[in-house]
A and B are shown apart, each in its own frame.
Chain A
Amino acid sequence: MRLPALSIGYAVPETSFDATVHSVFQSTVNLTLGNGSLIALLASDRTDLPHGIGLKTPDEFSFEQQGVVEKAVAVCRAEILRIAGTSLIIDLRGAARWQAHLDRVFVDMSRSESRRAWQTAFDALARHPETARAIAGVALLITQGALVDAVASLALGAEPSVNALMMSTQRNDVYSATRAARELVGLGPGLTPSGDDFLVGYLAGLWVTVGNDQQRAEFVRGFAGKIRELATSANDISRAYLVDVSQAEVSGLIAGLIRAIGEETRQDAIREAALAAMNVGKTSGADGVAGLLLGLIAWQNF
């Protein structure tokens, strides 16, 4: 079966490479490269990823049904990727390179339009059924300033760390921010634990609110470096996302929500972008959006 690639994340090697299958899901196959990093093959229903290859797949396509197995050899030569033991031919020729480049994006949260957009996204988060189950619930605790019933104990437990993280950010204190982040890495349920997803969103929010402020820029670069170090204690899949965001790269859905908050005026479009970003995994989406929204306002008097 030939699967053309539609987009290739910047972290995917440009030259021929060898890999082994790390993990197989319905819409995703993770491959481990020789240097230990992951790249992901993504079916059509998945968003672009910095370390991903977005494919055009038929309706109801499932990698699991294609006989892809863990530890199988995968080889890319002359932009044709094959996985041993399957008839899959993944054709990378002609696919566009994709990159979020958050370090070149600025969302001016002092604008009323941005704040209004932020509120729309936040309202969507508050109403999302998974928010309460995970660290995302912290966003409700912190911004609403009151104990919210049925927020998971996880969120309650993480609240001090998230508070510390935001206060450290306001002080541009890399050391304290790192200490707070360390308490969140690997925390919570999910293949990519809630804490990891939250940190990805949070750092993404910081990247796009640096503006011309040199101190903030220095803080974000320093903190990003520390996140990259902390990523070594995350699992392989989470690590890929944490390393991506440490280099100002995120998924297409998070990048889309950032763009919507910064540029979009139609509230329904913003809401749609928020819902799309939250609709990832069980709680991963909500955790990421929660982190993003808190990151966007970390330096603001909001």
Chain B
Amino acid sequence: MATAQRIIPNLYRDSVSLMQFSEKIAKLPGVRQASAVMATENNIGLLVEAGLLASASPPSPNDLLIVVEAEETDAAELALDKAENTLKQKPTASLDSEARKTPPRSIEMGLAEMPGANLALISTPGDYAAAEALKALRLGLHVMLFSANVSVDDEVMLKRYAREHNLLVMGPDCGTAIINGAPLGFANVVRRGDIGIVAASGTGLQQVASLIHRYGGGITQAIGIGGHDLSARVGGISMLQGIDALAVDPGTKVIVLISKPPAPNVMKVVLDKAACSGKPVVVDFLGADPASFSGKAIHGVKTLEDASATAVALAAGKPAPNLSDTLSPTLTKLTGDLRSQLAEGQKYVRGLFSGGTLCFETLLLLGESLGEVYSNSPLQPEFKLPDVWKSQKHMAIDLGDDLFTQGRPHPMIDFRLRNERMAQEARDPEVAVILLDVVLGYGSHMDPAGELLPAITEARLIAEKAGRKIVFIGSVCGTDSDPQNLPHQEQMLREAGVHLVDSNAKSARLAAAIVNPMKA
């Protein structure tokens, strides 16, 4: 007689199967008896007592121990092989389970593929977006609502539901977020660090995050909240939740808030919340006077660049830097040089922007120096362009506005409209400066400089044929980690004659200084 044993780790079969299996194996040729038991200490002891095991082995209660007694060793080993093969066979899944191979077409199906997901990014036509967002919230997911054209009523409903269930809604019309290092929507690759951002502004968030990276800092989270969150009706629900989250986040040392000025009652609530966060908070309410809301823990700033510099300094334990509106000596000299190249009559700045907040910041800064600045989304209603397709005087337009993007991709992806407009501006004899923003990062065109270069070259030629020179000024919003290769993009733009500065604010101030001798 020979005995043989085999341990199959972590194999769980119900008792009926085990019993049937033992009986089946015992009937194999040459086999006298077979036993399949869990390899517990007492069972091993039993088998040793019964002579089926030569000696006790260390128990492993989760393993299945098969013991076979047969006439010969070969028969015992064959029986064990058959036993193991039989036990390891699993019933095949039914045809119904083929459904799981279908690509997900709903949030629920997506969750079936990735049950650990905790955020849904929704980009559907606005009519359907709220319903999809609610589905996601009811499934326990946070929501990034990329979709625009969601009614304020729906936004309020979604955000109240989310708040009650300890969930966050980013948006509607939230194009940018960076959560736990994952870029969402249009977002840059930014170093992880200790600065948290809550922003009602896509390119505002991108500019601040990118500059923080450039200045050597990094971010914990960048939470987008959508453009209407700080209205009186919505009440800043997501902003307040964002501040709370960053306040308790152990990795966040400094909080940055970015938006246009909130509704007055909302501003108070937000600032109160920020002041109680226990952390220094840098607040850039673009267009509001920073002095009016700066306080002990609140550092009010004027520009996105200032917000970044202040946040990085505070995060490093240094005092907030002294910020200046004036150009550096180098840029001041450049101003003079560039002004001297202009022909008689060239006096206007024309900004062609893909980023709404970058355009808005430019309007503010140009307006300070130049007075009237027209736009499709002006600071004052009297400066609204009567025809958005025709420029007048000083102007900065947001080409990402719905007016321009109906049936078209966003200008960060599709440069045709901006390139056509550039040629149009070059034909205007009164245009002195063309301002451009170039936004890198995920979601943006993989080679924005390459897309712009032919248009810049054509515009330059159009002006030169008419005996003029156009000054191109720009800033690249991005980091050296972005997929577009920042140094290469900047090199291409410089070689095309674009004067690059490192922030949108500097770009606006330089443009203003060139056309306004009083500001030189």
Contact = CB atoms under 8 A, between A and B. Distances in A.
A binds B: yes
Interface of A: 1, 16, 18, 22-26, 30, 62, 64-67, 70, 73-75, 77-80, 82-89, 154, 157, 183-193, 195, 233-238, 281-284
A84 B114 contact: yes
Query: Which 10 pairs between the two chains have the least Cβ-Cβ distance?
Result: A186-B40, A78-B140, A23-B12, A77-B140, A67-B97, A82-B115, A75-B115, A282-B15, A190-B15, A187-B42
A235 B99 contact: no
B41 interface: yes
Contacts of A24: 12, 90
Interface string B95-113: 0110110000000110111
Given A75-B115, A86-B97, 18 more contacts: A22-B12, A24-B90, A65-B94, A66-B94, A67-B100, A80-B139, A82-B111, A85-B113, A87-B112, A185-B42, A190-B38, A191-B13, A191-B15, A193-B40, A233-B40, A235-B62, A282-B16, A283-B15
18 contacts: A62-B94, A75-B116, A77-B115, A77-B139, A82-B112, A84-B115, A87-B109, A185-B42, A186-B42, A188-B46, A189-B36, A190-B19, A193-B37, A233-B41, A235-B38, A236-B61, A236-B62, A281-B16
Contacts of A238: 38, 61
Given A66-B97, A80-B140, A234 B40 contact: yes
Interface in B126-152: 138-141
Contact of B112 (A86, A184, A236, A281): A86
A64 B91 contact: yes
A191 B111 contact: no
Given A66-B97, A233-B59, A193 B140 contact: no
Contacts of B165: 78
Contacts of B46: 154, 157, 187-188
A87 B97 contact: yes
Nearest to A64: B91
B15 A284 contact: yes
Contact of B40 (A80, A88, A157, A235): A235
Given A80-B140, A183-B42, A233 B61 contact: yes
B118 interface: yes
B93 interface: yes
Interface string B24-46: 00000000000111101111001
Contacts of B495: none
Nearest to A234: B61
Contacts of A284: 15
> Secondary structure of the A side of the interface?
loop
A218 B14 CA distance: 36
Interface of B: 10, 12-16, 18-19, 22, 35-38, 40-43, 46, 59, 61-62, 90-91, 93-94, 96-97, 99-100, 108-109, 111-116, 118, 138-141, 165
Question: In the complex, which of the residues A62, A184, A185, A189 has the most CB atoms of chain B within 10 Å of its own CB atom?
Answer: A189
A233 B15 CA distance: 19
B430 to A, nearest CB: 60
A154 B10 CA distance: 25
Question: In the complex, which of the residues A86, A186, A234 has the most CB atoms of chain B within 10 Å of its own CB atom?
Answer: A186
Nearest to A235: B61
Contact of B96 (A1, A25, A89, A188): A1
Contacts of A18: 116
Contacts of A186: 38, 40-43, 59, 61
Given A84-B115, A191-B15, A283-B15, A65 B97 contact: yes
Contacts of A66: 93-94, 96-97
Contact of A187 (B19, B40, B140): B40
A82 B35 CA distance: 37
B178 to A, nearest CB: 23
B37 A89 contact: no
A284 B42 CA distance: 17
Contacts of A23: 12
B15 A189 contact: yes
A188 B38 CA distance: 8
A265 B299 CA distance: 79
Contacts of A86: 97, 100, 112
A16 B140 contact: yes
A234 B42 CA distance: 10
A66 B139 CA distance: 22
Contacts of B38: 186, 190-191, 193, 235, 238
A15 to B, nearest CB: 11
Nearest to B111: A82
Given A62-B91, A65-B91, A234-B40, A84 B139 contact: no
A23 to B, nearest CB: 4
A237 B11 CA distance: 12
B18 A89 contact: no
Question: In the complex, which of the residues B35, B37, B138 has the most CB atoms of chain A within 10 Å of its own CB atom?
Answer: B37
A67 B90 CA distance: 10
B112 A73 contact: no
B96 A77 contact: no
Contacts of A154: 46
